[in-house]
Chains A and B, each alone.
Chain A
Amino acid sequence: MDDLLRDFLTESNENLARLDREIVALERTPDDRELLASIFRTIHTIKGTCGFLNLTRLEGVAHAAESVLGLLRDGTLTVRPDTISDVLAAVDTIKTILEGLERTSEEPAGDDSAVVARLERWLAGAPAEDATAPAHAVAAPEPTRGTAARDVEVAPAGGGEEAPDGGERPDSKPSIADSSLRVNVTILDRLMNMVGELVLTRNQLIQLSLAEEDSVYLAPVQHLNRVTTDLQEAVMKTRMQAVGGAWGKLPRLVRDLCQANGKRIELEMRGAETELDRQILQAIQDPLTHMIRNSADHGIESPEERRRAGKPERGTITLNAYHEGGHVILEVGDDGAGIDPAKIRQKAVERGLVKAEAAAVMPDAQVLRFIFEPGFSTAARITNVSGRGVGMDVVRSNIERIGGTVDVTSRVGTGSTVRIKIPLTLAIISALVVGTGGESFAIPQIGVVELVRVTEEARQHIESVHGSQFYRLRDTLLPLVQLDRMLELEEAPHSTDYSIVVCQVGEVRFGLVVSEVFDTQEIVVKPIGRLVKHLSVYAGCTILGDGRVIMILDAAGIAACAKVGAADEGRAGQAGDSVAGHEGEGERLSLLLFDTGQPALQAVPLSLVSRLEEFPAAKIEFADGRSLVQYRGALLPLVPADHGITIAQRDPQPVIVFSDGRHSMGLVVNEIRDIVEDRIRIETSAGRPGILGAAVINGRATEVVDIHHFLKLALNEWFEAAPGADARRGKRVLVVDDSPFFLNLLTPILRASGYEIATSDNGRSALERLERGEEFDIVLSDIDMPQVDGLELARRIRQNPAWERVKLIALTGRSSPSERQRGLAAGYSRYLVKLDRDAVLAALAEVTMGEEVAA
């Protein structure tokens, strides 16, 4: 039987039982307005639902009764015993029909015209009180000309108060009203809690009885064990509902969509009886509707298109639900046009989600996943059905919120299938139980990527970069969070082994350091009280098998508290960044490595370095608090690279010389180590001054030094007007680069040369600045950038005549002839390799000069 019908029957039976009582009470207290209103409402509800379920016979009777009751309620008609009788007769007829409905799922045939007629005469005005009319006599409605089915029961004559005899039913199945019951969910939750408690007590009893040999309790305890297990299952079941409950509205939805789109679609539903927790059921309702809409609107083609493609005109959407290893799988498939990966690729590139080159090599399956990105809709037109930009991303976020996953497969011309995997229940999750600082905690398994056991030997993989610890995990630096320190617990002694739980929160990965990892358990999540709710490091708490309460950690909350990945926040906003394969790839750079006595090596881009020198300690002079050395006929100011370094302690003293051609500065270091050239990913971090960020270089954590900081320390003149600066003064340069590192590096140098500098971290924001009317003489841009890359930026600037005078210089990590060609074709007048500082300055000067000449 249809769920909707079953609900209707349950509800109506409850209502009718009350109606009997109320109508009889009304007879005794005819002036009770409230009672009348209540009776009216009940009948009204039944009538309303009948219309919805297309139960015409019921509707007719209920409507007539409602009309009479309406008059009574308004006071147009006074309550008289014969009015009541007529209403009761109608109620009985309704009951009879409902019983038939319950047995056969269909409204039994029959004629209610007599009942309706008796009611209708009240509408025309109260008939004279007819003494002969029996107070509760309603003529038995005669089945009309034998059309009524044999099993139709009709309202028994004179049976106002008497319900039809149930004993006459062909089968003695209890009615739905008897076999189902509405129970408040909080009662079920309490039951669940108490069963949990019982389970714990049973476990203790089993332990006790096993400890004693030949215990007399053994047999009864075993029986208790079985009963408890059954009870637990039964109670769990009370919270489960068939997934079909969420499907009720879908056939109608599809029908409406067909009407709106002129399509012909069949909806096939399988596995409606698959059960899952009611909470989950509510959560999937909206995503499911969305997916069906999508299939009907974008998936299935119009009948003509289908005919041309050699498919049947009528398309099919299949909805399938089944259990698979503790999860419920929901599939929405259609036999429509499928999703064209080429279109998605193009769209993704247009949206700046991925770079064209990366998209070209991306496997189709991965490309299809772009449909789950926000604002991604491939429908060329907007319909009133779907395709308003809210779409599959909402589906994905809703599903992920309840711990599920969503995936799509598609074949062009054959159709697509979206597959959703959701847990059976939200209340129970799989968690890792860990211990640290003498306490135990649970970490939801869903955020855990891997576990690393750190033994004595493995400890050398831990690197310390200005106060933060990192673990070298396969050539990436994994930021570490000491759980005991973060939670202000007693810290574990450092000699013992410990474990790192590698957690993933969005794009951020970090390692949670704990003393022990116990096991994985299925736990029941319980909310934490209001006094500690503000602590974002907890997701809830749970009760373990031994009755202990432990806290459930929230990986996202911990990441936020420990500020891991905080430096990446700016980048995380650029959705395309990771997709574009930037992650872990980094820029190709030459770096000079040196030692300053810090645990980590220091590095500086080689292109900034003028010379490496070693000065005899005796030649270093100290004057008014500054250290100087005679160098090429001038005094070179010296600055220690770390406050731990004493100048001239070493002999000879290694110094790295930086120069802009007029001013020079010497950075004093302990030892110059190496020069490396590699693709390097620099993690910017707000650490101590003088450090731009950290990177893994040759498998070691290395700090990248902010030369700008030391230049300022050494010479304030550096930033004062340089010769020729007058000519350059007022020239506005827009530097466009997605790497904050290079922006930081380039800006001070250019400023020092007299340019006015503005920065943008990608092509789109650069365009926005120009469109806002900001004026620039030169745009100095990187090529590889998310959203709008450097080539696109140049093309767009060149397309707009208003920006004709803007000079374009490309700065890039790669410079093969073909790439240079593409850069020049896009509109750049110069194509420079990044970090060749002198070349950049020379090019800028030439471009500005050239402009003056031309002017």
Chain B
Amino acid sequence: MIANVSDVVPRAGARASRQTDTEYVTFRVGAQWLGIPVLMVQEVLAGQRITRVPLAPPEVSGFLNLRGRIVTAVDLRVRLQLPVRAEDSGTVSVVVRDEEELFSFLVDEVGDVMAVGAQALEPPPATLDARWKQCCDGIVRRDKDLLVVVSAREMLHLEQAS
């Protein structure tokens, strides 16, 4: 297990990374760092005006305008049942594309892109909260904390909207 940690290399050392490595965009929601494959991410934005959609599921913060395209914003704090953020703290939009539609994950902070070897990705622990487990693809141990690799597709699976 401990040997696997060496598979976790920061982007700076990506040159040395093996072919099996996957790059993840990391971001923080509450106190937890999460990651999604970089290939799913279209861009990262800050300070976007979001239009509320009344009656929408609570996870949906609203719509934003990305160069003329409508993006559905999903607040990951609500999605993952974390405490609601203070009103004055800003959010960052991680724009992902799924089935030709654009979504924005509202997160607290965006971190580095990280390359992770296949062996470094451990299955989610059995004790993980059911709501988290549903969208968790695996766990990566980092020096100081754990990075939860999530599935964007599952994140967009809302009970109310189906």
16 contacts between A and B (CB under 8 A): A193-B67, A487-B54, A488-B54, A528-B63, A529-B63, A530-B72, A531-B156, A532-B53, A532-B60, A533-B161, A534-B162, A535-B56, A543-B70, A547-B49, A549-B51, A549-B63
Docked complex Cα distance between A196 and B68 (Å): 7
Closest to B103 in A: A529
Docked complex Cα distance between A193 and B70 (Å): 10
A194 at the interface (CB under 8 A from B): yes
Given known contacts A193-B68, A196-B68, A549-B70, is B57 in contact with A531 (CB within 8 Å)? Answer: yes
Asked whether, in the complex, the Cβ of A534 is within 8 Å of the Cβ of B161, the reply is: yes
Asked whether, in the complex, the Cβ of A548 is within 8 Å of the Cβ of B51, the reply is: yes
Docked complex Cα distance between A551 and B55 (Å): 12
Within the complex, the shortest CB–CB distance from A452 to chain B, in Å, comes to 23
Partner of A193, one of B69, B101, B161: B69
Given known contacts A531-B57, A534-B161, is B69 in contact with A551 (CB within 8 Å)? Answer: no
Given contacts A528-B53, A535-B55, A543-B65, 10 further A-B contacts (CB under 8 A): A193-B68, A193-B69, A529-B70, A530-B72, A537-B55, A538-B53, A548-B49, A549-B62, A549-B65, A551-B63
Closest to A535 in B: B55
Within the complex, the shortest CB–CB distance from B76 to chain A, in Å, comes to 14
Closest to A196 in B: B68
Partner of B54, one of A196, A489, A526, A549: A489
Within the complex, the shortest CB–CB distance from A549 to chain B, in Å, comes to 4
Docked complex Cα distance between A538 and B56 (Å): 11
Asked whether, in the complex, the Cβ of B64 is within 8 Å of the Cβ of A439, the reply is: no
Partner of B72, one of A488, A531, A550: A531
B115 at the interface (CB under 8 A from A): no
Docked complex Cα distance between A488 and B63 (Å): 18
Within the complex, the shortest CB–CB distance from B74 to chain A, in Å, comes to 7
Q: Note all chain A residues with C-beta closer than 8 A to B146.
A: none
B52 at the interface (CB under 8 A from A): yes
Name A's interface SS.
loop
Docked complex Cα distance between A488 and B56 (Å): 11
Asked whether, in the complex, the Cβ of B53 is within 8 Å of the Cβ of A551, the reply is: yes
Within the complex, the shortest CB–CB distance from B41 to chain A, in Å, comes to 18
Docked complex Cα distance between A535 and B70 (Å): 17
58-89 of chain B: CB within 8 A of chain A: 59-60, 62-65, 67-70, 72, 74
Given known contacts A530-B161, A537-B55, is B67 in contact with A549 (CB within 8 Å)? Answer: no
90-107 of chain B: CB within 8 A of chain A: 99, 101, 103
Asked whether, in the complex, the Cβ of B64 is within 8 Å of the Cβ of A549, the reply is: yes
A197 at the interface (CB under 8 A from B): yes
A353 at the interface (CB under 8 A from B): no
Partner of A541, one of B57, B70, B103: B70
Across the A-B interface, the 3 shortest Cβ-Cβ residue pairs: A487-B54, A193-B68, A529-B72
Docked complex Cα distance between A532 and B67 (Å): 21
Q: Note all chain A residues with C-beta closer than 8 A to B63.
A: 528-529, 541, 549, 551
Closest to A201 in B: B67
27-47 of chain B: CB within 8 A of chain A: none
B158 at the interface (CB under 8 A from A): yes
Given known contacts A488-B54, A489-B54, A548-B51, is B161 in contact with A532 (CB within 8 Å)? Answer: yes
Q: Note all chain B residues with C-beta closer than 8 A to A538.
A: 53
128-162 of chain B: CB within 8 A of chain A: 156, 158, 160-162
Q: How many residues of B contact A (CB 8 A)?
A: 28
Docked complex Cα distance between A488 and B54 (Å): 7
Partner of B101, one of A488, A530, A548: A530
Q: Note all chain B residues with C-beta closer than 8 A to A488.
A: 54-55
Docked complex Cα distance between A40 and B101 (Å): 40
Docked complex Cα distance between A532 and B74 (Å): 11
Given known contacts A530-B101, A531-B158, A547-B65, is B70 in contact with A439 (CB within 8 Å)? Answer: no
Counting contact residues on chain A (CB < 8 A from B), the size range is 20 to 34
Q: Note all chain A residues with C-beta closer than 8 A to B68.
A: 193-194, 196-197, 543
Docked complex Cα distance between A238 and B75 (Å): 38
Partner of B56, one of A194, A197, A439, A532: A532
Q: Note all chain B residues with C-beta closer than 8 A to A547.
A: 49, 65
Q: Note all chain B residues with C-beta closer than 8 A to A537.
A: 55
Asked whether, in the complex, the Cβ of A197 is within 8 Å of the Cβ of B60, the reply is: no
Partner of A548, one of B53, B65, B158: B65
Docked complex Cα distance between A549 and B62 (Å): 9
Asked whether, in the complex, the Cβ of B70 is within 8 Å of the Cβ of A528, the reply is: yes
Closest to A487 in B: B54
Asked whether, in the complex, the Cβ of A550 is within 8 Å of the Cβ of B60, the reply is: no
Q: Note all chain B residues with C-beta closer than 8 A to A197.
A: 67-68
Asked whether, in the complex, the Cβ of B72 is within 8 Å of the Cβ of A439, the reply is: no
Q: Note all chain B residues with C-beta closer than 8 A to A533.
A: 161
Within the complex, the shortest CB–CB distance from A294 to chain B, in Å, comes to 41
155-212 of chain A: CB within 8 A of chain B: 193-194, 196-197
Within the complex, the shortest CB–CB distance from A491 to chain B, in Å, comes to 13
Asked whether, in the complex, the Cβ of B51 is within 8 Å of the Cβ of A531, the reply is: no
Docked complex Cα distance between A538 and B55 (Å): 10
Asked whether, in the complex, the Cβ of A194 is within 8 Å of the Cβ of B72, the reply is: no
Closest to B59 in A: A531
Q: Note all chain A residues with C-beta closer than 8 A to B103.
A: 529, 531
Partner of B51, one of A530, A535, A550: A550
Q: Note all chain B residues with C-beta closer than 8 A to A194.
A: 67-68
Closest to A544 in B: B65
Given known contacts A526-B70, A548-B51, is B56 in contact with A531 (CB within 8 Å)? Answer: yes
Asked whether, in the complex, the Cβ of A531 is within 8 Å of the Cβ of B65, the reply is: no
Q: Note all chain A residues with C-beta closer than 8 A to B158.
A: 531
Q: Note all chain A residues with C-beta closer than 8 A to B52.
A: 439
Q: Note all chain A residues with C-beta closer than 8 A to B53.
A: 528, 532, 535, 538, 551
Docked complex Cα distance between A538 and B63 (Å): 13
Within the complex, the shortest CB–CB distance from A194 to chain B, in Å, comes to 6
Partner of A439, one of B54, B60, B162: B54
Within the complex, the shortest CB–CB distance from A512 to chain B, in Å, comes to 14
- Mark contacts of A506-534 with chain B using CB atoms, 8 A cut-off: 1 yes-contact digit, 0 otherwise: 00000000000000000000111111111
Docked complex Cα distance between A194 and B68 (Å): 6
Docked complex Cα distance between A530 and B101 (Å): 8
Asked whether, in the complex, the Cβ of A531 is within 8 Å of the Cβ of B74, the reply is: yes
Docked complex Cα distance between A178 and B160 (Å): 52
Docked complex Cα distance between A257 and B9 (Å): 76
Docked complex Cα distance between A194 and B67 (Å): 7
Within the complex, the shortest CB–CB distance from A803 to chain B, in Å, comes to 54
Within the complex, the shortest CB–CB distance from A399 to chain B, in Å, comes to 28
Asked whether, in the complex, the Cβ of B55 is within 8 Å of the Cβ of A531, the reply is: no
90-104 of chain A: CB within 8 A of chain B: none
Q: Note all chain B residues with C-beta closer than 8 A to A196.
A: 68
Within the complex, the shortest CB–CB distance from A273 to chain B, in Å, comes to 31
Partner of A531, one of B49, B60, B67: B60
Docked complex Cα distance between A373 and B98 (Å): 44
Docked complex Cα distance between A210 and B56 (Å): 40
Docked complex Cα distance between A777 and B67 (Å): 74
Docked complex Cα distance between A530 and B162 (Å): 9
Q: Note all chain A residues with C-beta closer than 8 A to B56.
A: 531-532, 535
Closest to B158 in A: A531
Q: Note all chain B residues with C-beta closer than 8 A to A549.
A: 51, 62-65, 70
Docked complex Cα distance between A534 and B57 (Å): 10
Q: Note all chain A residues with C-beta closer than 8 A to B59.
A: 531
Docked complex Cα distance between A534 and B53 (Å): 12
Asked whether, in the complex, the Cβ of B51 is within 8 Å of the Cβ of A532, the reply is: no
Docked complex Cα distance between A267 and B162 (Å): 51
Within the complex, the shortest CB–CB distance from B78 to chain A, in Å, comes to 12
Q: Note all chain B residues with C-beta closer than 8 A to A529.
A: 63, 70, 72, 101, 103
Q: Note all chain B residues with C-beta closer than 8 A to A527.
A: 70
Within the complex, the shortest CB–CB distance from A544 to chain B, in Å, comes to 9
Closest to B52 in A: A439
Within the complex, the shortest CB–CB distance from B22 to chain A, in Å, comes to 26
Docked complex Cα distance between A532 and B62 (Å): 9
Docked complex Cα distance between A773 and B156 (Å): 58
278-327 of chain A: CB within 8 A of chain B: none
Closest to A440 in B: B51
34-87 of chain A: CB within 8 A of chain B: none
